[in-house]
Amino acid sequence: MLNFREMVAREWQLIAKDKWLQAALLWLPGFLFLLVAWIFSAGIATGLPVGVVDHDGSTLSNKLIHFYDAAPAISTNTRFSSEEAAFDALRNGSIYAVIVIPENLLSDTYKGLSPRVSAFYNSQYILVGKLVHSAILGAHSTFNAGVEVKNLMAHGKPVTLQAAALAVPVRIQMTPLFNLNLNYAQFLVSAIIPAMWQIFIVATAVMSLVATDREGRLTENVSFYGPKLLYAKLSVLFCIQALTGAAFLTAMFGKGGWAMNGSWITLLTGQWLMIIACIGIGFLFYLVFKDATRALSFVAGFTAPAFAFMGVTFPASDMLWLAKSWRALLPVSHYVEIQISETAYGTSFLHIAGPLLALSALCLPMLASIYICHKQQTRSAEEAIYDFSPTDY
């Protein structure tokens, strides 16, 4: 009979022999992290192509287009002669927005009328749509203020500051509090990595049991060792995943230079609870289904929507009840709340008590897996007693 230390050593040997499990645990998460970091390495979106349909062709419309083009986020080099051609380009993804300047822009402005300039963008690209919308709105507001100042000065307001005060009576100053440079890599990568990592944690927990079962020892080990088998696997998997998570945090919020305003201890506590919860979910899937294909299919179906349901790119308060329920079952959703609260806001422990309690509750699958192993061990012991007969002497 193996002691606990020998069982842990056997788990390390199992990982060394199983190349797929070894890859999923040791180098594949790091490779994907570097790939995602490289994809979003630019950090700030600039020069997003925007199409322009100029029906006026006046000096005023050209000046307005120059104002749009001066916004760093967009580029108005793409011109179209008709709305149909511009919308076709918007649909096929070659541009991200269409600006339509109406006829008589110059004459209507001189007459004191309010010509309407229309802008259309694809809101399916959530981040890009937000950037394009903000850039167009900012450029247009600045242009409108300049036109209004000149109009007021032409009607008897000779002082520029006085005319500017009348043109823009309420001035808005937008100051980012947390992501000062509006770095979309900080916004996206710090959420994409945990979402992908959750898939690996749950999948490797299943693969660990599959590797033991492939050698024909899972039923035998569960019957003989019971929960001790899961304890050995949990200790090995947890150590590897905890080191991986610490490396991710160090790369993003340490070496990466992103803001870290809270407590590392609190953040790591949330991360460790997430790891235990995910491993427990993986164990439970395989112990219930007893089939690698079916268990991994459920892993994919359960964890794949994590990024959409986390509430980072789409507010969780606006989700339907089904999405909210699914989100509540995903450990990474609660971990990301802790990560954002600690890194960006530097909140107190009481502020994140809710997500920590939710992660603690999601450790119940681990307890359920332990209970299943305990019941199977007890049943095997009872069957061994019943099978005993005098002929065995």
Query: 243: buried, middle or exposed (CB in 10 Å: 19+, 13-18, 0-12)?
Result: exposed
Predicted structure pTM score:
0.77
The CATH number corresponding to 48-167 among 3.80.30.20, 2.40.110.10, 3.40.50.11930, 3.40.1710.10 equals 3.40.1710.10
The larger pLDDT score, comparing residue 148 to residue 169, is at 148
- Pairing assessment for the beta strands 74-80 and 48-54 based on DSSP bridges: parallel
Tokens standing for residue 123: 């809101």
Q: Contact, 370 vs 276, CB < 8 A? A: no
Please, which residues bridge with residue 49 across strands? 75
Tell me the backbone φ, ψ of residue 75, rounded to 5 degrees.
-135, 130
pLDDT of 316 over the 70 cut? yes
> Residue 393: pLDDT band by 50, 70, 90 thresholds?
very low
Strands 48-54 and 97-101: parallel
**The predicted structure's pLDDT at residue 249:** 92
Domain boundaries, the chain: 4-40+183-386, 48-167
What is the Cα–Cα distance from 343 to 194, expressed in whole angstroms? 14
DSSP state at residue 24: I
Count of helices and strands (H, E) across the chain: 18, 4
CB atoms within 10 A of CB 368: 16
Q: How would DSSP label each residue in 48-116?
A: EEEEEEESS-SHHHHHHHHHHHHSTTEEEEEEESSHHHHHHHHHHTS-SEEEEEPTTHHHHHHTT--PP
Are 252 and 191 within 8 A, CB to CB? no
What digits encode the pLDDT tens for the residues 20-72?
Answer: 999 999 999 999 999 988 888 766 777 889 999 999 888 888 888 888 888 88
CB 273 within 8 A of CB 360: yes
User: In terms of Cα–Cα distance, which of 282, 250, 363 is closest to 24?
Assistant: 282
Q: Is the predicted pLDDT of residue 126 greater than 90, yes or no?
A: no
User: For the chain, first and last CA: distance in Å?
Assistant: 23
Q: DSSP letter for 349, please.
A: G
Chain segment 72-116, per-residue pLDDT in tens = 888 988 899 899 999 999 998 889 999 999 888 888 777 777 788
Find the radius of gyration of the CA atoms of the chain. Answer: 30
Strand ranges across the sheet with 48-54: 74-80, 48-54, 97-101, 118-121
Q: How far apart are CA 391 and CA 393, in angstroms?
A: 5
